[in-house]
Amino acid sequence: MPVRAVRGDEAGPLRAIRLRALLDAPDSFGSTCDRETGLPWQAWVERAERSARSEADVTFVAEGEGGWSGMAVGQLEPDDPGRAGLFGMWVAPEARGSGLGLALARAVVDWARARGAREIGLWVVASNAAAIRLYRRAGFVESGRRTGLPRHPAVVEIEMVRTL
């Protein structure tokens, strides 16, 4: 399944996949479906345009015959462009186990490397063993840092990092 960056005119499909992800795995993200459903349309337009034009932010999607089956966001840290983050990673249930997650993670890693990042990090829910295995296959290791999910502090997240 091809992985590519979201284009500036794809606010609608971007909103649809993000809301699907938030509904499917509500405890895996810092935001909620209710919050993002309430965002004005212009916010989605800006997200799509930023992915298409920004050197510091990108959203990758996996595009199949039936539409988008996964997404991942890359972002350079504003205070340290040598460090990037991988956020919002999600693969549709029907595409899990197909290698799509690894392809999305690699797309973000390659994007960050091409922009001069020396390290990329992410936070993953500690109980999500499948995601942790995926990130390990993509070259990430646990940093030892832990925190509670901001909107649900009882849900523990662990930080994983990869040197580029």
**Per-residue CA distances from 127 to 88, 124, 133, 154 (Å):** 17, 9, 11, 12
Residue 128 CB coordination number (10 Å): 17
- Pairing, β 80-91 against β 57-64: unpaired
| Number of structural domains in the chain | 1
Name the band, by pLDDT with cuts 50, 70 and 90, for residue 75.
very high
Whichever domain contains 91, its CATH number is 3.40.630.30
Find the domain containing 152 and state its range. 3-163
What was the pLDDT predicted at 27?
Answer: 86
Name the band, by pLDDT with cuts 50, 70 and 90, for residue 108.
very high
Name the band, by pLDDT with cuts 50, 70 and 90, for residue 36.
very high
What was the pLDDT predicted at 33?
Answer: 94
What was the pLDDT predicted at 43?
Answer: 97
